[in-house]
């Protein structure tokens, strides 16, 4: 794994995600992306953030799956207004801007995403948490604050019109 997150290229981020979260199985990664693309509103972007991308947890620098195989989650973020609309008002850190993640502890904040989450978790045999955000938040977190992410689907606001 790269020691400096700022040095992670898109290629290296993709390699990290495939090797860490998908056990090196490229076809499984491709199916994961296809399921997301087929399940989210048109024009919605999707990214993976967190330790699947960097190889270690932000909080304590522990390596991905430090607590055993399948213990680290995949942090999936949907990008765009249509994704934001999938969340109940109680499901936001910042209402209408940045949601909390749909997780085992909080499935009711976006009931329409629970079947997708369940399907993805069955595919990868690990937790998958799904949140939604606006494009400017992804820009702020990634490009300004330097929090790396891997783009799975490009956000295209024109496709949802």
Q: Are 43 and 155 in contact (CB under 8 A)?
A: yes
Q: What are the structure tokens assigned to 61, written together?
A: 């620098």
Confidence label for 3 from pLDDT (cuts 50, 70 and 90): very low
In a domain, 158, yes or no: no
Residue 1 has pLDDT above 60, yes or no: no
Confidence label for 146 from pLDDT (cuts 50, 70 and 90): confident
Confidence label for 143 from pLDDT (cuts 50, 70 and 90): confident
In a domain, 2, yes or no: no
Residues 58-111 pLDDT 10s = 889 999 999 999 999 999 999 999 999 999 999 999 999 999 999 999 999 999
In a domain, 47, yes or no: yes
pLDDT of 117 reads 98
In a domain, 1, yes or no: no
Angle between the N-to-C axes of helices 26-39 and 10-21, in degrees from 0 to 180, rounded to the nearest 10? 100
Backbone angles phi, psi at 16, to 5 degrees: -60, -50
Q: What is the mean pLDDT of the chain?
A: 93
**What's 53-96 look like in SS3?**
HHCECCCCCCECCCCCCCCCCEEEEEECHHHHCCCCHHHEEECC
Q: Are 130 and 83 in contact (CB under 8 A)?
A: no
When mean pLDDT is compared over 2-11, 78-87, 150-159, the highest value belongs to 78-87
In a domain, 3, yes or no: no
Q: How many domains does the chain have?
A: 1
How far is it, in rounded angstroms, from Cα 65 to Cα 120?
Answer: 18
In a domain, 63, yes or no: yes
Backbone angles phi, psi at 93, to 5 degrees: -75, -45
Confidence label for 160 from pLDDT (cuts 50, 70 and 90): low
When mean pLDDT is compared over 1-5, 102-106, 129-133, 144-148, the highest value belongs to 129-133
Q: What are the structure tokens assigned to 152, written together?
A: 């799975």
Per the structure, the complete domain to which residue 22 belongs is given by 8-153
Nearest-CA neighbor of 91 among 83, 81, 76, 101?
101
pLDDT of 161 reads 56
Read off the CATH number of the domain in which 99 is found.
3.30.460.10
């Amino acid at each position: 794994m790269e020691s400096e997150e700022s040095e992670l290229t898109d290629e290296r981020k993709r390699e990290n995600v495939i090797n860490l979260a998908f056990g090196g199985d490229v076809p499984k990664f491709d199916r994961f992306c296809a399921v997301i693309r087929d399940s989210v509103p048109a024009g919605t972007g999707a990214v993976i953030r967190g330790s699947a991308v960097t190889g270690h947890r932000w909080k304590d620098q522990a390596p991905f799956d430090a607590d055993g195989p399948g213990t680290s989650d995949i942090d999936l973020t949907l990008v765009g207004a249509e994704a934001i609309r999938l969340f109940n008002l109680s499901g936001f850190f910042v209402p209408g801007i940045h949601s909390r993640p749909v997780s085992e502890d909080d499935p009711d904040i976006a009931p329409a995403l629970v079947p997708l989450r369940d399907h993805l978790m069955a595919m990868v045999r690990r937790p998958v948490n799904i949140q939604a955000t606006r494009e400017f938040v992804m820009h702020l977190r990634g490009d300004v604050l330097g929090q790396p992410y891997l783009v799975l689907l490009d956000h295209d606001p024109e496709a949802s019109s």
